[in-house]
Every structure is written in structure tokens, then in C-alpha cells.
Amino acid sequence: MSKNATVIVEERDEWSSFAEFLGNIIAKYADEVGLDDLPDPHAYIARKNIEKGYKCYMKNINKRISKSYHNSIEYVFC
């Protein structure tokens, strides 16, 4: 198969006009939007996973601290 393969759809369905519209809009505004300037999605996902793991870790640590704090209280009855 060659690199410049073209797909031609003979039958048009209800989505063809919408797909053509989206293609034209993307082609028209691609330079102005600056799609190449968008941040790397892999770095964004990795950062979100690290934040999620850190929150889970701190929640666990806070539970342990809270339990040890409550267990260390001395009650004196008179």
C-alpha cells in the first residue's frame, strides 16, 4: 500500500456532511489554534497519576498518625 493512499466513499450517510464540516474547520483553524504548542498528554497523565498516588499515600499516613495520636492519650480518672 502506498503512502498517499486515498479512501473514496461512494455512499454518503448522515455523518458525511458533519465529518466534512469538521475536517474543513480543523484545516482552516489548525494554524491559529497551535496544535503543536499543546502540552504533552503523557506528561499531564503522569502528573495526575502522581498527584493521585500522593493523595492516597497522605490519606493513609494521616490515618496512621490519627490512630497513634488517639491511642497515646492517657486518661486519668479521679
Walking along the chain (78 residues) 10 residues at a time, the average pLDDT comes out as: 64 82 88 80 92 92 76 54
pLDDT (0 to 100) of residue 52:
94
C-alpha to C-alpha distance for 25 and 35, rounded to whole angstroms:
13
The rounded radius of gyration (Å) of the Cα atoms in the chain is: 29
pTM: 0.42
The DSSP code for 9 is -
* N-term to C-term CA, the chain: 91
